[in-house]
Amino acid sequence: MIFDAIIIGTGAGGGTMAHQLAHAGWNLLIIERGDFLPREKENWDAASVFQKGQYNCGETWIDQKGKPFEPGTHYFVGGNTKFYGAALLRLREKDFGEIEHYGGLSPAWPLKYQDFQPYYQKAEELFEVHGQRGEDPLEPPEKNPYPYPAVSHEPNIASIADKLKKEGLNPFHLPLGVRLNEKHKENSLCIRCDTCDGFPCLADAKSDAHHICINPILNLPNVKLLTKTKALKLIEKNGQITEVQTDQGNFQAKTFIVSCGAINSAALLLRSNVANSSDQVGRHYMCHNNSAIVALSKDKNPVIFQKTIGVNDFYFGADDSKYPLGHIQLLGKVKAGMLGADAPFFTPKFVLDWMADHAMGWWITSEDLPDPNNRVLIKDDQIHLHHYPTNMEAHERLLKKLKHILSVSGHRIHFPNSAYLAKQIPIAGVAHQVGTARFGHDPKTSVLDIHCRSHDINNLYVVDGSFFPSAGAVNPALTIIANALRVSDHLCQK
Ligand SMILES: Cc1cc2nc3c(=O)[nH]c(=O)nc-3n(C[C@H](O)[C@H](O)[C@H](O)COP(=O)(O)OP(=O)(O)OC[C@H]3O[C@@H](n4cnc5c(N)ncnc54)[C@H](O)[C@@H]3O)c2cc1C
Ligand code: SF4
């Protein structure tokens, strides 16, 4: 059988694409290397998720020094959206243009914010984003409100927001994809628990690609999903992909849509030796400069759902910085099981419990810059990820700004949160991976055209985070979703 399209990967990009093309009547085969994530008590157990790594991918990749590491990525239906913190932000309007940074230039995108704007709106509707327009000073133009009201602050978070406002900052309600109905709790799927950011949702209430995109199309007669099926190679004949080779057999289609996540998509293209006449596949890997900071205070932090504040006042600079610094947001509730992964083995549990009770987690993100030497390579069929940090001055300055915020809010920085692996997230922290098959007008310097179609092969598309020419400094998933909606419109109009 020859399918209209084969979609490889069911995360933010592939799941969204599958949802759209399925409803447009395409005869689809969806291939996903992972299984459905089991619903079990361990979904919400910090020790199982963070210390035992129960849902980790278990693979070994190699860094630029030849050192093996286990990447922090997940292979399940829904991809990494099963674990994400569901902070769904748009890139800023200026992010689509060229921007000067401490570390050099962030290149312009081949399209403008206005090209993405209608798709951001649709993405927020599809993923049921809760937010409040008008609070974030750098919010890109949008006349429509968020589809759902902002997730409210709990009292001590509201008090931190007030303190920040007194300092002249503009904390805003973080836009979140959780299916929460605060007015009618009896109708709310989301129970506002303390195990959201980094955990799968046992209540099936997180707006992940599994529940939002894949589940609703599974019973359609034109959709077939193969789980536990890994795409190994795309087979090219006469300038077209004709079939995909998997560990469960070969499958044919008219159109192939790769969405394995930026690193695995590059790996698949490299293993297949396709779409790489530019020698750009796998290059320009970006993942943001991220740090997770745990702050302790002498008072207990009674918060349950913590991740409700974002701060963009330093995104494009500060009084003492003419270059951009980045974005700040709260992390989810810090749990003893997360701290345990970083603490010496002899740390008594009551110490970890005390610390978790008094902790508040923050996440800071600065833009890293595309560098051709930061790249995915395949050697002996194994993924090698070379990464040399870029633009670190911005990150260090942003950390200083966060310290100021913490002093204002009565906390002090204590130690890095190992749940996210280290203070400065190391190479294994690939959560924000983008850029390995960037889109552009010039086939010599980009892999994909502006419709995310390979310049070399006209029935091959890549719709995950690979297409980003620059990373901005907000979490990437909403842009990946919006782009998949844009590409699916293009495919349906063809
Ligand atoms: C703990 C955590 C927290 C995060 N929090 C946020 C957040 O708050 N906001 C935000 O915007 N982003 C967040 N992210 C990042 C976000 O999850 C990703 O940006 C997004 O999921 C990427 O979408 P994608 O389609 O590119 O890839 P993925 O979602 O990774 O999907 C790729 C899919 O392809 C499958 N696959 C891979 N290789 C193959 C193959 N060879 N054959 C078949 N299938 C394959 C994988 O199993 C996976 O299902 C977070 C990530 C993590 C890990
Ligand atoms: S806060 Fe809501 S969406 Fe998040 S894990 Fe808990 S129930 Fe699920």
Which numbered ligand comes closest to the C-alpha of 190? 2
The phi and psi torsions of 428 (rounded to 5 degrees) equal: -70, -20
Q: Identify the CATH number of the domain in which residue 464 sits.
A: 3.50.50.60
Confidence of residue 96 (pLDDT cuts 50, 70, 90): very high
In degrees to the nearest 10, what's the CA dihedral of 174, 179, 184, 187?
-170
pLDDT tens for 172-197 read: 999 999 999 999 999 999 999 999 99
For residue 279, pLDDT over 70 is answered with yes
435/332 Cα distance (integer angstroms) = 27
pLDDT tens for 73-86 read: 999 999 999 999 99
- To test the pocket of ligand 1, the residue of 6, 83, 84 to mutate (highest count of ligand atoms within 8 Å of its CB) is 84
pLDDT given for residue 335 in this prediction: 79
Question: What residues make up the domain containing 223?
Answer: 2-152+175-287+370-388+430-493
Element (DSSP H or E) covering residue 394: helix 392-408
The phi and psi torsions of 121 (rounded to 5 degrees) equal: -60, -45
Residue 234 beta carbon below 6 angstroms from any ligand 1 atom = no
pLDDT given for residue 24 in this prediction: 98
pLDDT tens for 218-264 read: 999 999 999 999 999 999 999 999 999 999 999 999 999 999 999 99
Average pLDDT over residues 435-458: 98
Which numbered ligand comes closest to the C-alpha of 475? 1
Number of domain units in the chain: 1
pLDDT given for residue 417 in this prediction: 42
Residue 305 beta carbon below 6 angstroms from any ligand 2 atom = yes
CA of 244 to the centre of ligand 2 (A): 36
pLDDT given for residue 405 in this prediction: 77
For residue 409, pLDDT over 90 is answered with no
Residue 363 beta carbon below 6 angstroms from any ligand 2 atom = no
Q: Is the pTM of this model over 0.85?
A: yes
338/355 Cα distance (integer angstroms) = 11
Map residue 353 onto helix, strand or coil: helix
pLDDT given for residue 478 in this prediction: 98
CA of 44 to the centre of ligand 2 (A): 10
For residue 342, pLDDT over 70 is answered with no
Look at ligand 2, atom 6, and give the residue with the nearest C-alpha: 193
For residue 422, pLDDT over 70 is answered with no
CA of 434 to the centre of ligand 2 (A): 26
Assess if residue 475 is contained within a domain: yes
Assess if residue 416 is contained within a domain: no
Of 359 and 437, the one with more pLDDT: 437
The phi and psi torsions of 351 (rounded to 5 degrees) equal: -70, -45
The phi and psi torsions of 236 (rounded to 5 degrees) equal: -105, 135
pLDDT tens for 109-122 read: 999 999 999 999 99
Say what angle helices 113-126 and 477-493 make with each other, to 10 degrees: 100
For residue 415, pLDDT over 50 is answered with no
Residue 205 beta carbon below 6 angstroms from any ligand 2 atom = yes
- Which residue matches tokens 């609703």? 216
Assess if residue 79 is contained within a domain: yes
Assess if residue 182 is contained within a domain: yes
Assess if residue 315 is contained within a domain: no
Assess if residue 39 is contained within a domain: yes
Assess if residue 238 is contained within a domain: yes
pLDDT given for residue 411 in this prediction: 60
For residue 281, pLDDT over 90 is answered with yes
For residue 419, pLDDT over 60 is answered with no
Look at ligand 2, atom 3, and give the residue with the nearest C-alpha: 206
Of 332 and 356, the one with more pLDDT: 332
Assess if residue 354 is contained within a domain: no
CA of 412 to the centre of ligand 1 (A): 32
- To test the pocket of ligand 1, the residue of 10, 80, 90, 483 to mutate (highest count of ligand atoms within 8 Å of its CB) is 80
- Summarize the chain as % helix, strand, coil (round to 5): 25, 20, 50
